[in-house]
Structure 1
Amino acid sequence: MRRLLVLAPLLIAPLVVATTHAGQQASPPSVVAEATRDPGTGRLADDTENRWVPFTLTPGNQIHFTMTLDGRPVSAILDTGVSFTVLARTSKAVVQKRLRSGGSATAIGGAVAVGWMPTRRVELGGLTRTGGGVTVADLPAIATGDAEPVDLLVGRDLTALYALDIDYAGKRFRLLPSGRMPFAGAVAPLTISAQRRVYESAIRLGAGRLAPVIVDTGDGSSVTVTRAGWTAARLDRLPATSTIGFGLGGASVNDLAIVPHLTLGTLDAQNVEVRIEPPGGFSQSIGVAGRIGSGFLGRYRVLLDPYAGRMVLKGDGTQTTPLRSTSGLLVGVAPDRLRVLHVMRGSPAEAAGWRTDDLICAIDGQPVTRDYATSPLARWSVAAPGTVVRLSDCEGRTRALTLRRFY
């Protein structure tokens, strides 16, 4: 079950537009132009079907696992919204003498500086890639909502040649040869865009068909659309509030609503949480109509096979009721406290005067601990309307908050 209304809705944004494309003005000698980068050679093991990769969900709802980079175990996030696999600048896997400048890339919140580092061997489940390289950038811990940052975002360059089978219920995934169909389900189109080089599909929302939309396992939210797409859907009658997300380039505040149903290929999903970006937001800036994130995909078992042109979704998640905040406080988690990252518009918290950066160290007298994100205590923010929650700051002052439904 997704947990984004207990915590802040945190996104690992698509990192899709590098500034060093072929055909542009020649790059300085220190910059490794994209067209000259070694793509490496990938090979699937004969027993790749049995090479499941176990994962956990981060507090930000992303797929978190361990793999191997040049013989070193690294923590990673599976992120089909990233064009090129990204290694954190602070990771011990960075070899400074191999690192070169790589220009910049577009992410939620703005542009980010990137580098490029050749690699010798990357191992992920049944996949071994020799040669190639990784983009290097800052990967803040807040992008996953956890106290510790990850080493790596595994992007399209490592996975797109294969079928990616994600078993959300079993918390495991595997890489298969493209064309394999290990299970049946609803089918939707899936491609790799020539311009953005990420996984893309299309949805029907209300009165509008929105395309392309990025299929982004690194986005912990459900579905995000542009303001123009929302207008085309003619769903303005639905009650809405505000929410916040964090990408590699910083924070992004969007509107938020629950829509009665959404169509993805042959799938008709009901009660879907949709974020609406402001005009000129990230999706519009890169020429897409929106994104489908793990908050939606996690309702199903999912097969992503862009070279076979399809996405397959199996399960009974079409009528899943999304969690709704009844407090209006979206928080980030530290080992012994919560920090308010956003106060939702029209919420009880807004009416009670809560502000961004307020701290919470105890809930109904129970202290916030390191395992808060997975503990029953974390459900206070989505408790039944009428519940009174007593929130204490780190100096012992307590404020009562009466929960209610507001969107």
Structure 2
Amino acid sequence: MRLLTALLLLLPTAAAPAAQRAAPPTDTLAPDSEARWIPFDLTPGNQIRFTVTLDGQPIAAILDTGVSYTALSRAYVTTHKLKVRSGGSASAIGGLVPIGWIDPGTIRFGGLTRRGGSISVASLPATATGSTPVDMLVGRDLTAAYALDIDYAARRFRLLPSGRLPFTGVTAPLAVSPTRLVYSGEVTLNGRRLRPMIVDTGDGNAVTVSHEAWATTRLVPAALTSTISFGLGGAIVSDLAIVDTLQTGALTAANVEVQIEGKGGFSHRLGMAGRIGSGFLQQYRVLLDPSAGRMVLQTGEQAGQMPLRSTSGLLVTAERNRLRVLHVMRGSPAAERGWKAGETICRVDDVAVPTAYAGSAYAGWSIGAPGRSVALDLCDGARRTLTLRTFY
């Protein structure tokens, strides 16, 4: 089970005029854009990371349809001594974050070239970008006018003219929220339609719903646990369940991991029912075309498979040669043994934690077979044994 991140960055309406102080941008989509696939890799947090050219300089970016206006990192701005004008704050998962505005010259990726206009500036902490810092979040403002074809299986995407349909699949409604300026769709749970749902490629989770929206479904899952996610504004703890079926448009998906926010949580405060994230979308080839009013999903090999589940209940992050516990899942073996957030692990089954931990086979101990006993040596010298089991 991955420790997931969610990069939603919604700008309040008062901030929008600040984005227009520069001359309006000019976008050009190359005639051969269909052939200009953009390779990407998935971060440890399930996000699409690729390379953008900013004023002739290649930089690392994440494709994020849950960001209202493309955001450049403050670290990049500081390093390159760029001039930033103040811009108030924006709503992000975990809380409000201060933002600024900058007027870049040219942004290029794939077949798209943007000249002029403004983008936002925000701190992009590594905890919110899959443990690897990036320089930019490419948001709705750069992509919504086009059809965004994401081939997760081949790790590539491209921008096409709106209205193009390069593959066949099941269709679901998609638009740009007129108030939040992000991609917006819907899901149906237990016969209850939940909308608007932010369609958020920057959210590594599968599906997240507000406490209030979840209550309307009257679903009683077999088990509930807890989990933690990290956004630009900090950490958020949610309930976690696996639902048998979920619909979006004409698609019925099986075995979907759903996070349920706390009462009065982030989605509810924004007037949204929740989010559809990359953890769900990556099971399909996806076409996002809000101008044409549709999301198209072509089933991939992973669709319908049971999600990877923690059998330990320890959600950890790697810090050089140790693991730090970020969250202990409710009802888990770790919770029963009294584990606490903040504790550190230096050895697992007598093997030191490697520097290259994320994505390695070594990391599989936390989702190991039920009944297996794992010896965990804490960095303070104590040893604990944890017997793995299925708990949600």
TM over 0.5: yes
User: Which residue among 304, 321, 324 is the counterpart of 1:336?
Assistant: 321
Which position in structure 2 is the counterpart of 1:222? 206
Which position in structure 2 is the counterpart of 1:264? 248
User: Which residue among 104, 113, 135 is the counterpart of 1:151?
Assistant: 135
Where in structure 2 are the equivalents of 1:166-177 lying within 5 Å? 166-177=150-161
Where in structure 2 are the equivalents of 1:236-385 lying within 5 Å? 236-316=220-300, 317-385=302-370
Which position in structure 2 is the counterpart of 1:111? 96
**SS of equivalent to 1:196:** coil
Asked whether the equivalents of residues 20 and 118 of structure 2 are also in contact (C-alpha less than 8 Å), the reply is no
Equivalent-residue separation in structure 2 for 1:220 and 1:374 (angstroms) = 15
Which position in structure 2 is the counterpart of 1:20? 15
- Please report how far the alpha carbon of residue 383 of structure 1 lies from its aligned counterpart in structure 2 after TM superposition: 1.1
Aligned pair 1:11/2:11, yes or no? no
Equivalent-residue separation in structure 2 for 1:239 and 1:370 (angstroms) = 35
- Please report how far the alpha carbon of residue 21 of structure 1 lies from its aligned counterpart in structure 2 after TM superposition: 4.1
- Please report how far the alpha carbon of residue 396 of structure 1 lies from its aligned counterpart in structure 2 after TM superposition: 4.5
User: Which residue among 57, 71, 96 is the counterpart of 2:42?
Assistant: 57
User: Which residue among 339, 355, 375 is the counterpart of 1:390?
Assistant: 375
- Please report how far the alpha carbon of residue 72 of structure 1 lies from its aligned counterpart in structure 2 after TM superposition: 1.1
Change in CA separation of 1:79 and 1:93 when aligned onto 2, cut-off 3 Å: farther
Aligned pair 1:47/2:42, yes or no? no
Equivalent-residue separation in structure 2 for 1:38 and 1:389 (angstroms) = 60
- Please report how far the alpha carbon of residue 106 of structure 1 lies from its aligned counterpart in structure 2 after TM superposition: 0.4
- Please report how far the alpha carbon of residue 37 of structure 1 lies from its aligned counterpart in structure 2 after TM superposition: 4.4
Asked whether the equivalents of residues 69 and 93 of structure 1 are also in contact (C-alpha less than 8 Å), the reply is no
Asked whether the equivalents of residues 299 and 320 of structure 1 are also in contact (C-alpha less than 8 Å), the reply is no
Aligned pair 1:406/2:386, yes or no? no
Q: Normalising by structure 1, report the TM-score.
A: 0.93
**SS of equivalent to 1:238:** coil
Identity of aligned residues (%): 57
Q: Per-residue CA shift, 1:72-101, capped at 9, x if unaligned?
A: 111111100000011110115865452111
Equivalent-residue separation in structure 2 for 1:315 and 1:34 (angstroms) = 38
* Superposed CA RMSD: 1.6
Equivalent-residue separation in structure 2 for 1:354 and 1:145 (angstroms) = 24
Change in CA separation of 1:19 and 1:329 when aligned onto 2, cut-off 3 Å: farther
Q: Per-residue CA shift, 1:204-242, capped at 9, x if unaligned?
A: 011311000000000000000011111111113431011
The count of corresponding residues between Structure 1 and Structure 2 is: 391
User: Which residue among 47, 51, 54 is the counterpart of 1:66?
Assistant: 51
- Please report how far the alpha carbon of residue 358 of structure 1 lies from its aligned counterpart in structure 2 after TM superposition: 1.0
Runs of 4+ aligned residues of structure 1 deviating over 4 Å after TM superposition are 92-95
Between stretches 11-20 and 37-46, larger displacement belongs to 11-20
Equivalent-residue separation in structure 2 for 1:386 and 1:361 (angstroms) = 23
- Please report how far the alpha carbon of residue 261 of structure 1 lies from its aligned counterpart in structure 2 after TM superposition: 0.2
Letter in 1 for 2:341: T
Between stretches 253-262 and 230-239, larger displacement belongs to 230-239
Q: Normalising by structure 2, report the TM-score.
A: 0.96
Asked whether the equivalents of residues 11 and 89 of structure 2 are also in contact (C-alpha less than 8 Å), the reply is no
Equivalent-residue separation in structure 2 for 1:214 and 1:52 (angstroms) = 25
- What are structure 2's unaligned runs of at least 5 residues? none
Change in CA separation of 1:370 and 1:396 when aligned onto 2, cut-off 3 Å: same
